[in-house]
Amino acid sequence: MAGLTQLTQLDLMDTAVSDLCALAGLTQLTQLSLSGTAVSDLSALAGLTQLTQLYLMDTSVSDLSALAGLTQLTQLDLSGTAVSDLSALAGLTQLTQLYLSRYVRQRSERFGRAA
């Protein structure tokens, strides 16, 4: 993927992808779907600062710290993930759509309402 530096959209949904290191150089990406993959480590995405849409539904992701600098994100889907701490998203002021469906009850209670 190293030669695809102008790529703006990539859909890897339901593929066998688990390692995102090959995506680190795709700095023009604005949309990325990793839903249904075996991805758990998002650190390779930290430099993809042009991302506006990121779909992580049904992945093994639990740590969002790598997303803290993705300030252009407007849509983020965390449905069906193991995420329990959303504090890394605090600085994402452009975020307009956040999907948390199938979030377990104890996590929902942290936001002041039961699931």
Domain ranges of the chain: 1-115
13 contacts 33 by C-beta, under 8 angstroms: yes
Report the C-alpha gap between 38 and 70 in whole angstroms: 22
Report the C-alpha gap between 65 and 36 in whole angstroms: 20
Q: What is the pLDDT of residues 10-63, one digit of tens each?
A: 999 999 999 999 999 999 999 999 999 999 999 999 999 999 999 999 999 999
Number of residues in the chain? 115
Q: What is the pLDDT of residues 53-93, one digit of tens each?
A: 999 999 999 999 999 999 999 999 999 998 989 999 999 99
User: Full-prediction pTM beyond 0.85?
Assistant: yes
Name the strands in the sheet holding 31-33, side by side, starting at the edge strand that comes first in the sequence.
Answer: 9-11, 31-33, 53-55, 75-77, 97-99
Report the C-alpha gap between 58 and 40 in whole angstroms: 10
Q: What is the DSSP letter of 113?
A: S
Q: What is the DSSP letter of 37?
A: S
Q: Does domain 1-115 have CATH number 3.80.10.10?
A: yes
What pLDDT does 106 receive?
A: 44
